[in-house]
């Protein structure tokens, strides 16, 4: 393993390997978890267990294009796109709140119907906030010794995005914006006192948001004692834990879940980890966690090894966001956290989330090619066969070191 990790393009292969394995794992589990629902609720004249799976497979193909695009874009292009992307995100988050435009499901208005698919603007807004926040902090890096330059306008913009998402309402996604904000400040070296103040403010805000909405308070009550209402508010939590308990060490076998027969709501989306535990057991859950751990290691490795402050900020922020979101999802499935409804990245069904996450995987893999060791390797040996096939650009620092061709 040490030999592999010493290779100049190890981070590149780790990101693509772990991200690809998670995407394939997720596609298989979406089919297994959704086959019964697809069969029961499809058109009676053409019943098929592949309805949700087919849609997810199409999103996966679109996601492959997103990976390629993420690989192709240079860091300088990401920085140029940061401000337009943030403006577009604010506009889309505002538009989705308009009753005549935004699509409402499960009591929340989070989707825009764009014809072929439904777009979830909050997923795009996460990426926009990461890119804009990283670019902002890099531009202001000589002034970051003062709190006001660290916090303004980063925190107000984060609050604006989070506030628009809360109007949908979506507390879980709002917490993802908080993760991104904290990750950017942590990576840039913000003082501990600032984190303590922001954390206290966040806790006060979350408590206030819970207090003003009865359904959020009900989730806290259910979290503390799901068996107080086993056929109502606690049903999903209880059956999710039953699914995990049924799986034991090795699971009941892929495709053999009992909970997917209408017993576990949202088994192919928010609660897909419960189906993983039931069908693949504790070992399957460990494999899934190991893949997320590998992706986390690769992302933080890129952040640590790069000499570009923008790449460092973006790599650390997106990894903390993705892994933090995975921890939140798994945490509420196993009963350690209140239910928030955030998807498990690359695993849960859902188009916008999958495509955006695959774009991020491509972006991280592209950043890995800008590590100093990777640049030196590309300078000496040039592009590999796969990179030439994908028509990936050579990092500019590597191009600058190559001898110029004679005309």
Cα separation of the two ends of the chain: 45
**CA angle, residues 291, 295, 298, in degrees to nearest 5:** 135
Is the torsion defined by CA of 396, 398, 399, 401 positive or negative? positive
Q: What is the pLDDT of residues 339-362, one digit of tens each?
A: 888 999 999 998 899 999 999 999
Q: Are 324 and 176 in contact (CB under 8 A)?
A: yes
Q: How far apart are CA 184 and CA 188, in angstroms?
A: 6
Give the pLDDT band (50/70/90) at residue 406: very low
Give the pLDDT band (50/70/90) at residue 147: confident
**Quick check: helix, strand or coil at residue 103?**
strand
pTM (two decimals)? 0.93
pLDDT of residue 209: 81
pLDDT of residue 45: 57
CA-wise closest residue to 154 among 20, 262, 313, 302: 313
Percent of the chain surpassing pLDDT 90: 64
Q: Are 366 and 374 in contact (CB under 8 A)?
A: no
Distances (CA, A) of 288 to 156, 243, 292, 370: 36, 16, 6, 28
Backbone Cα Rg of the chain: 22
More confident residue, 172 or 45: 172
Answer yes or no: is pLDDT of 12 > 90. yes
Mean pLDDT value across residues 264-281: 94
pLDDT of residue 145: 81
- Least confident window among 63-72, 141-150, 285-294: 141-150
Q: Which residues contact residue 352 at a Cβ distance below 8 angstroms, ignoring those fewer than 6 apart?
A: 117, 118, 119, 120, 123, 124
**Quick check: helix, strand or coil at residue 393?**
coil
pLDDT of residue 400: 46
Q: Which residue has the tokens 């570009």?
A: 308
Task: Classify each residue of 21-38 as buried b or exposed e, where b means 16 or more C-beta atoms within 10 Å of its C-beta.
Answer: bbbebbbbbbbbbbbbbb
Give the pLDDT band (50/70/90) at residue 233: confident
pLDDT of residue 396: 72
Mean pLDDT, the chain, whole residue set: 90
Locate the domains of the chain by residue range. Answer: 7-394
Q: How far apart are CA 267 and CA 275, in angstroms?
A: 7
Answer yes or no: is pLDDT of 42 > 80. no
Is the torsion defined by CA of 126, 129, 132, 138 positive or negative? negative
Give the pLDDT band (50/70/90) at residue 404: very low
pLDDT of residue 367: 96
Element (H, E) at 44: none
Give the pLDDT band (50/70/90) at residue 399: low
pLDDT of residue 46: 59
Task: Classify each residue of 166-187 as buried b or exposed e, where b means 16 or more C-beta atoms within 10 Å of its C-beta.
Answer: bebbbbbbbbbbbbbbbbbbbb
Q: What is the pLDDT of residues 175-224, one digit of tens each?
A: 999 999 999 999 999 999 999 999 899 899 888 888 887 778 888 888 88
Percent of the chain surpassing pLDDT 70: 95
Mean pLDDT value across residues 9-31: 96
Q: What is the pLDDT of residues 302-353, one digit of tens each?
A: 999 999 999 999 999 999 999 999 999 999 999 999 988 899 999 999 889 9
Q: Are 268 and 43 in contact (CB under 8 A)?
A: no
Mean pLDDT value across residues 109-134: 91
230: left (phi over 0), alpha (psi -120 to 50) or beta: alpha
Q: Are 174 and 166 in contact (CB under 8 A)?
A: yes
**Quick check: helix, strand or coil at residue 102?**
strand
Answer yes or no: is pLDDT of 279 > 50. yes
Answer yes or no: is pLDDT of 401 > 60. no
Q: What is the pLDDT of residues 67-86, one digit of tens each?
A: 999 999 999 999 999 999 99
Q: Which residue has the tokens 């849609």?
A: 55
């Amino acid at each position: 393993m040490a030999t592999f990790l010493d290779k100049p393009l190890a981070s590149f292969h780790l990101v693509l390997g772990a991200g690809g394995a998670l995407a394939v794992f997720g596609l298989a589990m979406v089919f297994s978890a959704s086959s019964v629902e697809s069969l029961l609720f499809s058109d009676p004249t053409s019943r098929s267990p592949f309805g949700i799976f087919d849609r997810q497979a199409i999103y996966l193909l679109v996601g492959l294009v997103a990976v390629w695009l993420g690989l192709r874009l240079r860091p300088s292009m990401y920085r140029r796109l940061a401000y337009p992307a943030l403006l577009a995100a604010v506009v889309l988050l505002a538009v989705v709140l308009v009753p005549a435009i935004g699509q409402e499901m499960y009591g929340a208005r989070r989707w825009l119907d764009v014809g072929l698919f439904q777009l979830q603007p909050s997923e795009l807004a996460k990426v926009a906030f990461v890119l804009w926040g990283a670019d902002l902090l890099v531009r202001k890096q000589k002034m970051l010794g003062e709190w006001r330059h660290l916090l303004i306008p980063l925190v107000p913009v984060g609050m604006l995005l989070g506030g628009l998402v809360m109007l949908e309402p979506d507390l879980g996604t709002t917490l993802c914006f908080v993760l991104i904000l904290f990750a950017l400040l942590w990576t840039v070296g913000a003082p501990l006192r600032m984190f303590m103040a922001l954390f206290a403010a966040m806790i006060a805000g979350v408590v206030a948001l819970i207090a003003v909405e009865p359904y959020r308070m009900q989730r806290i009550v259910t979290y503390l004692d799901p068996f107080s209402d086993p056929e109502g508010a606690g049903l999903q939590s209880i059956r999710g834990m039953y699914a995990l308990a049924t799986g034991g060490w090795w699971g009941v076998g892929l495709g053999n879940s009992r909970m997917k027969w209408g017993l576990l709501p949202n088994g192919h989306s928010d609660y897909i980890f419960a189906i993983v535990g039931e069908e693949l057991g504790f070992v399957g859950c460990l494999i899934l966690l190991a893949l997320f751990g590998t992706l986390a290691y690769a992302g933080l490795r890129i952040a640590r090894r790069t000499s570009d402050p923008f790449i460092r900020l973006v790599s650390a922020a997106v990894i903390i966001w993705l892994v933090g979101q995975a921890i939140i999802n798994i945490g509420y499935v196993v009963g350690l956290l209140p239910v928030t409804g955030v998807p498990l990245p690359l695993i849960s069904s859902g188009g916008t989330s999958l495509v955006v996450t695959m774009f991020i995987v491509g972006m991280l893999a592209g950043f890995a090619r800008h590590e100093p060791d990777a640049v030196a390797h590309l300078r000496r040996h040039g592009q590999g066969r796969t990179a030439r096939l994908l028509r990936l650009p050579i990092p500019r620092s590597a191009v600058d070191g190559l001898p110029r061709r004679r005309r």
